């Protein structure tokens, strides 16, 4: 992902190291808990519908809590927010692991755990520009992103084995302990900083009325958010992984199709940061890489076999590396007092585009009767939008440069 020198420098920073270790470990623990709870639901209900519903619940709470609770990361000291929410999650996960806990209560607790993760993540993301030196900010964001992808894959891979050898309650306890570790690391290693936008702060006359106004009115912020929302089209092959594999007479390849995107994305970020060291040059590649993330999908119109399907998805996944410099540039441009709220809104919008894109793709594939045509259509629409966003981003950068938005 980054050079050895950059990696050593990042890990020598106590604050960043603590946040990175805690976040990576807790992410893996979250995957253990999600699989464990799904298996527990299936054991008690023997219902595939209830099991699928439980899994889907892991996606929805952040869509609501992100915009509603992101302000917490701006109104209160961010270390306090991270430590408090981590302890709350540890306690709630521990309660879920109590033997005999009613299933409905466990599901409610899970929803609460996922909801309060939003202010934690907002505080963490908003803290990174203050924790990292400017020259290493992009490297730190890249390390965070690739580590989360890797932790998710590792957590899911280990979950089935762990639960099979022990019990779902053990996985829940392990996840609770990861939150304890996270809280302790942040409390002991991250510097206390005053709230970025404390309650009662008087706003300046020329300050935008709200963070949403700022995100929509500032050309660079608007364009970066728009190009990231193209993930809703790029994720269509994952949403159709099962019927796609069935159409290739390779149902066994479902897991492979699902794993390609995160694995190729990690590879793409590694190549991008190794070959292009200058953050400004990486920002120039946001548009072309966004195009690359969608252009291969158009070739599904030719009904590729399994080998070519994998090749196309690998190239598309590598192109998805543009999210890392786009994420870094977006947060760097935001004024500090808006970062928590902006992150909550942006994350909810990104999740909505991904979930909505996959759901809509399923409806379209059922209507037209062709999985590959649906993927090709998503790629074609995305290619047009990505091309437009590329020129819009070039114009916005040319007019405004790369400095943070002045407030």
Q: For the segment 160-180, what is each residue's pLDDT rounded down to a tens digit?
A: 677 677 778 888 899 899 999
Which residue did the predictor score with more confidence, 144 or 83?
83
DSSP, res 60: S
Confidence of residue 154 (pLDDT cuts 50, 70, 90): confident
Distance, CA of 305 to CA of 288 (rounded, Å): 27
Confidence of residue 357 (pLDDT cuts 50, 70, 90): confident
> 3-190: what CATH class?
mainly alpha
Identical fold for domains 3-190 and 211-398, yes or no, is yes
Mean pLDDT value of segment 39-67: 75
**H-assigned helices in 46-194:** 48-57, 61-69, 72-75, 78-96, 103-131, 137-165, 168-189
Which residue did the predictor score with more confidence, 283 or 204?
283
Q: Compute CA distances 305 → 208, 256, 259, 374, whole Å.
A: 52, 14, 18, 16
Contact, 378 vs 361, CB < 8 A?
Answer: yes
Distance, CA of 96 to CA of 107 (rounded, Å): 9
Contact, 123 vs 305, CB < 8 A?
Answer: no
Hey, where are the domains in the chain? 3-190, 211-398
Mean pLDDT value of segment 83-110: 91
Distance, CA of 18 to CA of 28 (rounded, Å): 16
pTM of the model: 0.85
Whether the pLDDT of residue 205 is over 60: the answer is no
Task: Say which CATH topology domain 211-398 has.
Answer: Growth Hormone; Chain: A; (1.20.1250)
pLDDT score, position 49: 63
pLDDT score, position 316: 96
Contact, 343 vs 128, CB < 8 A?
Answer: no
Least reliable range by pLDDT among 122-136, 193-207, 294-308: 193-207
Burial of residue 164 (CB within 10 Å: 0-12, 13-18, 19+) is exposed
Distance, CA of 115 to CA of 134 (rounded, Å): 31
Mean pLDDT value of segment 238-243: 86
- Could you report the per-residue pLDDT of 366-395, keeping only the tens digit for each? 888 899 999 999 999 999 999 999 999 999
Least reliable range by pLDDT among 39-43, 69-73, 284-288, 335-339: 39-43
Supply the DSSP string of 176-216, one letter for each residue.
HHHHHHHHHHHHHHSPP---SS-TTPPPPTTS-SSHHHHHH
Across the chain, mean pLDDT equals 87
């Amino acid at each position: 992902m980054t050079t050895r020198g950059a990696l050593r420098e990042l890990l020598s920073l106590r604050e960043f190291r603590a946040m990175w270790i805690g976040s990576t470990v807790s992410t893996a623990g979250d995957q253990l808990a999600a699989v464990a709870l799904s298996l527990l639901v299936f054991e008690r209900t023997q219902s595939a519908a209830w099991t699928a519903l439980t899994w889907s619940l892991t996606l929805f709470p952040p869509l609501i809590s992100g915009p509603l609770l992101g302000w917490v990361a701006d109104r209160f000291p961010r270390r306090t927010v991270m430590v408090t929410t981590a302890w709350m999650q540890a306690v709630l996960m521990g309660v879920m692991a109590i033997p005999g806990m009613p299933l409905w209560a466990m599901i409610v607790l899970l929803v609460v755990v996922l909801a309060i993760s939003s202010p934690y993540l907002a505080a963490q993301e908003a803290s990174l520009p203050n924790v990292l030196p400017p020259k290493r900010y992009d490297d730190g964001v890249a390390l965070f992103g690739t580590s989360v992808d890797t932790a998710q894959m590792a957590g899911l891979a280990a979950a089935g084995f762990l639960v099979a050898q022990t019990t779902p309650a053990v996985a829940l306890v392990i996840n609770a302990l990861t939150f304890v570790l996270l809280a302790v690391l942040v409390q002991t290693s991250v510097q206390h900083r005053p709230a970025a936008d404390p309650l009662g702060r008087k706003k300046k006359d020329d300050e935008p009325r709200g963070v949403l106004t700022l995100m929509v009115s500032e050309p660079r912020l608007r364009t970066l958010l728009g190009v990231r929302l193209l993930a809703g089209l790029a994720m269509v092959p994952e949403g159709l992984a099962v019927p796609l594999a069935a159409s290739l007479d390779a149902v066994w390849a479902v897991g492979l199709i699902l794993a390609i995107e995160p694995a190729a994305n990690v590879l793409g970020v590694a190549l991008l940061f190794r070959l292009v060291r200058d953050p400004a040059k990486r920002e120039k590649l946001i548009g072309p890489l966004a195009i690359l993330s969608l252009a291969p999908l158009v070739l599904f119109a030719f009904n590729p076999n399994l080998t070519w399907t994998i090749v196309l998805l690998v190239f598309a996944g590598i192109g998805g590396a543009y999210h890392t410099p786009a994420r870094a540039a977006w947060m760097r441009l935001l004024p500090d007092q808006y970062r928590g709220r902006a992150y909550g809104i942006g994350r909810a919008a990104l999740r909505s585009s991904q979930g909505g894109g996959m759901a809509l793709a399923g409806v379209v594939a059922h209507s037209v009767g062709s999985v590959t045509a649906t993927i090709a259509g998503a790629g074609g629409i995305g290619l047009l939008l990505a091309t437009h966003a590329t020129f819009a981003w070039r114009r916005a950068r040319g007019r405004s440069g790369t400095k943070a938005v002045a407030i």
